[in-house]
């Protein structure tokens, strides 16, 4: 079995108490705030556009936080590393167009199949080969294509609801331009707070809260098996989890001296994706930004305590998912669209830089153009065909880049 063994002796409660500290708790709080603001707005934006109900969205958020929080607690405890698991944001965006012509149970069937594929890859030890199968610039060309609409939505929100969107954009830009303030108040959180104040002043925030809308009551879905959904979603989802998300997570941990157990992480993503699929949640992944934040300072051997704090906060947020979902959905559409777009802005920038800064640029461009077209062929979405077209064009016209890649 190629799974990496946890370090010995196993973590004990007194080890956790000894290693905990203020800096790790603060980093965990900042990392969790990042995960529970803009990325949640992405789920709501994609889900509402795809016709999902409030109950569907609350169930999705429950799985994204509560169930992935359990995985986070287990892995941080076992491996004594900051191994935080959440959900794939590129995969969430990828699912949006599919909801326009596939039923939610068919999409959930693709989530289950994606989890099975990752589970088998993790158990086989072929993860590194799978991660290298499609060049990163081509993958990021697809990511740039599916994320582009979020950047465009910010501009549209500024045009359609300037009173809500403009203060959020200004707050985001000011906090981004003033690093000292941005470290104390992350730009996305600042945009959320300013946007919330703008919504309150507008008088358009009237949520209907009741005791029944506070605690989680996740919906259990029966997957539907559709060949169209499998072809359209499974390969892109596996690639976005393993290459984009897990690749980023492993890289940020390696940069500070952690050697993430790649095979075990892949198995966890596979099992997590299967379990969370039954409550309507997109595939599980090893998060990059949150792990980067909780390992950004302090002693390396104590970073795992920040991951455990994030896991505990995720459990609480997941249990209260209907409450937070109703609050967000009671805001004007421009609030969610702007918050989601601002959260994705740096990711979109990084996707463009990775796609067009080095090798495979023509393949990345073809992938981007085909993905942006949003044209389904044989009822299979454009993101899949973008990957196929980009890879084929690079194979034909950029063979030297494949040779240089080794």
The per-residue pLDDT of the chain, averaged, comes to 89
Q: pLDDT grade, residue 179 (50/70/90)?
A: confident
Rama region for 220: left / alpha / beta (φ>0; ψ in -120 to 50; rest)? beta
257-269 per-position pLDDT tens digit = 898 999 999 999 9
Residue 211 has pLDDT above 60, yes or no: no
Distances (CA, A) of 238 to 90, 234, 263, 379, 380: 11, 6, 14, 20, 16
Distances (CA, A) of 52 to 42, 96, 227, 320: 13, 10, 22, 19
- pLDDT reported for residue 394: 94
CA distance 376 to 389: 13
- pLDDT reported for residue 186: 79
Give percent of the chain with pLDDT exceeding 70: 98
Query: How far is C-alpha 147 from the geometric centre of its chain's CA atoms?
Result: 12
319-329 per-position pLDDT tens digit = 999 998 888 88
Query: How far is C-alpha 108 from the geometric centre of its chain's CA atoms?
Result: 17
Kindly tell me the burial class for residue 200, based on how many C-beta atoms sit within 10 Å of its own C-beta (0-12, 13-18, 19 or more).
exposed
Q: pLDDT grade, residue 1 (50/70/90)?
A: low
Give the pLDDT mean for 298-318: 95
Q: pLDDT grade, residue 210 (50/70/90)?
A: low
CA distance 200 to 62: 26
Q: pLDDT grade, residue 272 (50/70/90)?
A: very high
- Least confident range from 28-37, 151-160, 216-225, 378-387: namely 378-387
The residues near 284 (Cβ < 8 Å, ≥ 6 apart) are: 68, 71, 85, 86, 87, 88, 115, 241, 268, 269, 272, 273, 276
Give the pLDDT mean for 374-390: 81
Residue 180 has pLDDT above 90, yes or no: no
Greater model confidence, 380 or 234: 234
Residue 280 has pLDDT above 90, yes or no: yes
147-168 per-position pLDDT tens digit = 788 889 999 999 999 999 999 9
Residue 344 has pLDDT above 80, yes or no: no
Helix ranges (H only) for 63-103 are: 68-79, 89-98
Q: Under DSSP, is residue 86 helix (H, G, I), strand (E, B) or coil? A: strand
- pLDDT reported for residue 103: 95
CA distance 18 to 301: 11
Domain ranges of the chain: 13-137+160-346
100-134 per-position pLDDT tens digit = 889 999 999 999 999 999 999 999 988 877 777 77
Give the pLDDT mean for 260-283: 96
Residue 285 has pLDDT above 70, yes or no: yes
């Amino acid at each position: 079995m190629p799974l990496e063994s946890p370090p010995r002796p196993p973590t004990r409660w007194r080890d956790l108490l000894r290693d905990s500290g203020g800096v790790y708790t603060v980093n965990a709080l900042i990392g969790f705030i990042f995960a529970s603001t803009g990325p949640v707005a992405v789920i709501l934006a994609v889900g509402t556009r795809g016709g999902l109900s409030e109950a569907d969205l609350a169930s999705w958020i429950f799985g994204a936080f509560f169930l992935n929080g359990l995985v986070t607690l287990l892995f941080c405890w076992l491996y004594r590393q900051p191994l935080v698991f959440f959900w794939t944001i590129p995969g969430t965006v990828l699912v949006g167009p599919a909801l326009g012509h596939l039923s939610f149970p068919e999409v959930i069937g693709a989530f289950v199949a994606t989890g099975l594929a990752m589970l088998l890859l993790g158990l086989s030890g072929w993860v590194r080969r799978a991660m290298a199968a499609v060049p990163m610039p081509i993958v990021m060309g697809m990511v740039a294509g599916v994320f582009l609409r979020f950047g465009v939505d910010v501009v549209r929100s500024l045009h359609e609801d300037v009173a809500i969107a403009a203060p959020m954009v200004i707050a985001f830009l000011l906090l981004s331009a003033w690093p000292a303030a941005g470290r104390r108040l992350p730009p996305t959180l600042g945009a959320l707070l300013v946007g919330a104040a703008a919504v309150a002043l507008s008088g358009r925030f009237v949520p209907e809260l009741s005791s029944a809308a506070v605690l989680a009551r996740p919906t259990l879905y029966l997957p539907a098996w559709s060949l169209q959904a499998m072809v359209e979603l499974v390969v892109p989802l596996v690639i976005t989890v393993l290459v984009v998300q897990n690749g980023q997570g492993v890289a940020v941990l390696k940069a500070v001296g952690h050697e993430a157990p790649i095979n075990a992480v892949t198995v966890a993503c596979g099992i997590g994706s299967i379990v969370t699929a039954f409550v309507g949640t997109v595939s599980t992944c090893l998060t990059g930004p949150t792990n980067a934040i909780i390992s950004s300072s302090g002693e390396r051997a104590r970073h795992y305590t920040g991951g455990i704090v994030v896991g505990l906060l995720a459990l609480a947020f997941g249990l209260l998912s209907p409450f937070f979902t109703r609050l967000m959905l009671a805001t004007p559409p421009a609030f969610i669209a702007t918050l989601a777009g601002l959260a994705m802005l740096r990711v979109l920038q990084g996707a463009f830089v990775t796609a067009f800064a080095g090798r495979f640029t023509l393949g990345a461009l073809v992938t981007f153009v085909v993905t942006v077209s949003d044209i389904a062929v044989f009822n299979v979405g454009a993101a899949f065909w973008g990957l196929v077209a980009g890879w084929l064009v690079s194979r034909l016209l950029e063979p030297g880049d494949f040779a240089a890649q080794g």
